[in-house]
Amino acid sequence: MKAILCAATLLVIAISAVQCNPNFQQLMKQCMDETKLTEAELKEFMGSGMNGNANENLKCYSKCLMEKQGHLVNGQFNSEALLNTLKNVPQMKDKMAEITSGVNACKDMKGTNDCDTAFKVFMCLKEHKAVMGGQ
């Protein structure tokens, strides 16, 4: 379970979890419970290189984590909050120009609902290498 939770940090814009601190693991578990996301669903998505189809539970899991960190507020991506989080992560400091560019490219993403918006933002950030796990 702990390995899956640490791997799940790649799924979210949860850079504070880079160190997999216990509080963030609890947050991830809480969001898994709230969204009824199973470990199997998360593992399958992660195993696909995060390129597989995401079900609604996975999308809402992204929303839950983003909201609890202040990165999604009232269905809107809070790009400034994400940038403020990232600039305090040592592994990200030397990549802030690239990250800022990616965040700006994704800041107006909108989905069919808040869960879809959160997931689209995450996938956009991943594509632009603005989050951990971007290839």
8 Å CB contact between 16 and 24: yes
Task: Find all residues with CB under 8 Å of 121, minimum gap 6, and list them.
Answer: 13, 66, 72, 77, 106, 109
The C-alpha angle 60, 62, 63, rounded to 5 degrees, equals 60
Q: Report the topology of domain 2-12+20-127.
A: Recoverin; domain 1 (1.10.238)
d(CA 133, CA 135): 6
Q: What is the pTM of this model?
A: 0.79
pLDDT digits (tens, 9 = 90+) for 7-54: 444 444 444 444 444 577 888 899 999 999 999 888 888 777 777 678
pLDDT for the residue numbered 47: 78
Strand locations in 1-128 (E):
72-73, 76-77
| Residue boundaries of the structural domains of the chain | 2-12+20-127
